[in-house]
Structure 1
Amino acid sequence: MKINKALIAAAGFGTRFLPFTKTIQKEMIPVLNKPVVDYLVADLVKAGITDIVFAINEHNMQILHYFRENHRLEEYLRRMNKMHLFEEIKNLHQQANFSFVKQQDSDPYGSATPVKLAQSYLENEESFVVLMGDDIPYNADGSSEVSLMIKHLEKTGVKSLATFVEQPDSELQRFGIAKTFEKNGFQYLSELIEKPTPGTAPSNLANISKYILTPKIFELIDQQSVDSRSGELYITDTVTKLTKTEDVAIYTPRGTYLDCGYPLGWLKANLTIAKENPELRAALQKFIKEINF
């Protein structure tokens, strides 16, 4: 299966990172010297994705500017004889065909809204990738997790997939948890139980909101009502409905799931990626000893 297009949802407020996210999008929070969203784009490009659409908040244009040319910066680096630094950024806007849709204040909040907003870009595809913009599927060997998702989908012979990671019992009430069934040696999703109460979770598979979906999802979002408690429109509810019309394969990442959407997760992400750099690793180990951490 050849998948060409992907959506990155990046329209949230990032409340777990306030006050920082009052002015800076959480997807632009740096992990080492690159924003979170840069890692996602790199993974998609390695997987052969040629067209990437971002769903962004109408008030935040930072991602749009990041993936556009910056002639002023180029000229400054040239004047300062620092064009070696330009090598890091000169091709950012050329990695893929980038498009942007803006989520208005009048649109319902929630993870399904960005998918619906991108319908005109994705509705003619057989399948497409959907990623949330605040976490990283990280492989230390540099391989693409999205590529592995697509390969797993091909093995199952179906067209939709949802991604899950194992979590301990104590953490299950923070996630949507998979109820599964098995067919032909593969696991499939039968239902997503959102934040189950202790002792009621059907498995330890926690949803991390990375999907391969079909255009059927748009019709299901249209039929969906906002959550009665939060007033938000959740893609987890839509995907549960999707399981009633087609098989949705379950995929567990080979790499490390780095959740950068809250301070401790962001710190762990920085340390995980930093330890692959010998110089940074040595300096960090020395510093941690110095401060008696």
Structure 2
Amino acid sequence: MRIRKAVIPAAGLGTRMLPITKSMPKEMLPIVDKPVIHYVVEEAIRAGIDDILIITGKGKRAIEDYFDRSFELEYYLREKGKLEELKQVEEIGEMVDIYYVRQKKPLGLGDAILHAEKHVNREPFAVLLGDDIIVSEKPGIQQLIEVASRYSSPVIGVEEVPWELVSRYGVVSGSQIEDGLYDVNDLIEKPSPEEAPSNIAIIGRYVLPPEIFDILKKTPPGKGGELQLTDALRILANERKILAKRISGKRYDVGTKLGFIKANIELGLLRPELKGQIGTVIKELAKEV
């Protein structure tokens, strides 16, 4: 299964990160020195994807500007002899072919995915949520693509979460067919701990078939009055095999304040030029806590 195209939904309002997301897209929040969505796009590129559609919404123009060329800034850096900074800026504008479509109303993840139908053009495609960063030796989405290719099946990225947190996620139930790989028989969107069939939670990575669009069009609004992708996947699971793959690596939900802080600290520690300084700050702060 050759996956050439990726869809990155980035139209959400980011209410968990207010007030900063009142004027800044949550996908543009800085993690060290790059916005969140930069890491997501890099993951797709590392997995061999060469065509990306970003679903944006009102107030998200900064995302388009970020991945565009900035000739005034490039000229300034070149004139000042700041060649390393110039190289970084030029590379952003040349990363990959990126296209945009706007979701005019915040009607849920399923509705955002529907906006990709024309661009996907009846091909299987990857979905990477714009506020999830996955740090791993093998890109998270590539892990799903490999499973999809091996089994000719849609694949959902999952991880185990504490039971008390299952109400924040879509949750799957199914039988384990090998270590970290499940044959899905049901999916429930944001169940209470008492309702949840498992603590295997859906995270922001998917490999989906084009027939998901026809199913989404027939799926009624779910929780919150929104079109839920999980509800459409539940219907799809009744029609064909769906697999859930536990992704190897470290995931950061940077759509939450704590996840945002953790991502900055831990990804900062991965930078050799910052590791020592950050370590010193952490030790100093630990004395005060």
TM-score interval, normalised by the smaller of the two chains: over 0.9
Deviation of 1:124 after TM superposition, in Å, equals 2.3
Query: RMSD between aligned alpha carbons?
Result: 1.7
Q: Cα distance, 1:68 vs. partner?
A: 0.9
Unaligned runs of 5+ in 2: none
> Per the alignment, in what secondary structure is the counterpart of residue 230 of structure 1?
helix
1:254 maps to which of 248, 259, 262 = 248
Give the stretch that moved more between structures: 84-93 or 43-52: 84-93
- Report the residue type matching 2:115 in the other structure: L
TM-score (structure 2 length as normaliser):
0.93
Counting only pairs closer than 5 Å after superposition, residues 257-268 of structure 1 correspond to structure 2 as 257-268=251-262
Unaligned stretches of 5+ residues in structure 1: none
Q: Is the 8 A contact 1:26 1:261 kept in 2?
A: yes
Q: Is the 8 A contact 1:158 1:247 kept in 2?
A: no
Aligned to 1:60: 60
Residue by residue, what CA displacement relative to the aligned partner does 1:168-209 show, whole Å, maximum 9, x if unpaired? 222222221111135588522111122222333212201113
Alpha-carbon distance change, 123 to 272 in structure 1, aligned in 2, over 3 angstroms: same
Q: Against the structure 1 CA distance between its residues 175 and 211, is the aligned structure 2 distance closer, same or farther, given a 3 Å change threshold?
A: same
Q: Distance in 2 between matches of 1:84 and 1:184?
A: 46
* Residue of structure 2 in register with 1:281 after alignment: 275
Say which of 219, 223, 233 aligns to 2:218.
223
Question: Is 2:135 aligned against 1:138?
Answer: yes
What does residue 173 of structure 1 align with? 167
> Aligned partners of 1:104, 1:200: CA distance in 2, in Å?
33
In structure 2, give the amino acid aligned to 1:138. V
How far is the alpha carbon of 1:154 from its aligned partner?
2.2
Greater Cα offset, 5-14 or 57-66? 57-66
Q: TM-score, normalised by structure 1?
A: 0.92
Task: Give 1:117's match in structure 2, choosing from 96, 115, 118.
Answer: 115
**Identity across the alignment (%):** 33
Corresponding residue SS for 2:172: strand
* CA deviation map 1:244-269 (0-9, x unaligned): 11111111111111110011011111
Q: Distance in 2 between matches of 1:81 and 1:176?
A: 50
Q: Tell me the amino acid that sits aligned with residue 271 of structure 1.
A: I
Equivalent position amino acid for 1:266 in 2: F
Contact persistence 1:158–1:248 (CA under 8 A): no
1:240 to 234, 238, 241: 234
Amino acid at match of 2:116: A
Choose 188-197 or 177-186, whichever is displaced more.
177-186
Paired positions, count: 286
1:246–1:93 CA distance, 2 compared to 1 (3 A): farther
State the Cα distance separating 1:5 from its structure 2 match.
0.2
Question: Map of 1:90-129 to 2, 5 A cutoff?
Answer: 90-105=90-105, 109-125=107-123, 127-129=124-126
Aligned AA (1:209): G
SS of residue in 2 equivalent to 1:87: helix
The amino acid that maps onto 1:59 is G
**Cα distance between partner residues in 1 of 2:73 and 2:273:** 28
Counterpart amino acid of residue 213 in structure 1: L
The one-letter code sitting in structure 2 at the alignment partner of 1:128 is F
